[in-house]
Chains A and B, each alone.
Chain A
């Protein structure tokens, strides 16, 4: 079992609220990722990071933002949640070497009412 933790596991909030999804890993991995998994199960990369103070947007446009102030911590923030943000959010990390597999957290299932 990978040492990557996401909190909360489930979150139901009202429209317009600001939320932060937490992700922490204890493996010392340089690379971290946020994927959004829609009800059809497909995974879309929304943010990634090479290391501390590095953040990039992924393939799927997202209104969320991320920060990487510490190696082990990669939180995702939504300034004003909307129903269209309802989804499963998966955090992952990996070593920088080519071919290194990703280790995933158990996800946060977000519902915006």
Chain B
């Protein structure tokens, strides 16, 4: 079965500093990987995805993610954090073992950006 792991429950960073939210994956075959963000009392919003092509994927709100096949990682990054980036971040992988190809989510990482 396909799965993703987010090893950090929370990441703390000061505003203006670079941020990284970690994600590792376990798949059979080629991975379809996604990042989502959830603000308080809201649903999840799509940030970016990797299917094929360049290992560096650019997404919404200045976020990017680096796909690393040898390390089976898909870390989310931003060069300069904003206080408004504080939210819950989910990594996800498309489960290709089923015909429906549903998304399997990680457990989430809370990002806290301090002023």
Contacts and interface: CB of A to CB of B under 8 A. Distances in A.
Contact of B108 (A42, A101, A105): A42
Contacts, number: 56
B44 A104 contact: yes
Nearest to B42: A106
Interface residues of A, number: 26
Contact of B43 (A56, A98, A104): A104
Majority DSSP secondary structure for residues of B touching A: strand
B50 to A, nearest CB: 9
Chain B interface size, as a band, is: 20 to 34
A101 B46 contact: yes
Given A6-B43, A43-B108, 5 more contacts: A41-B108, A58-B102, A98-B32, A99-B32, A101-B46
Interface of A: 2, 4, 6, 31, 33, 40-43, 45, 48, 50, 56, 58, 90, 92, 98-99, 101-107, 109
26 contacts: A4-B43, A6-B43, A33-B102, A40-B107, A41-B88, A41-B108, A42-B107, A43-B90, A45-B103, A48-B100, A50-B100, A90-B44, A92-B43, A92-B44, A98-B94, A98-B101, A99-B49, A101-B46, A102-B36, A102-B44, A102-B103, A104-B36, A104-B44, A106-B41, A107-B42, A107-B43
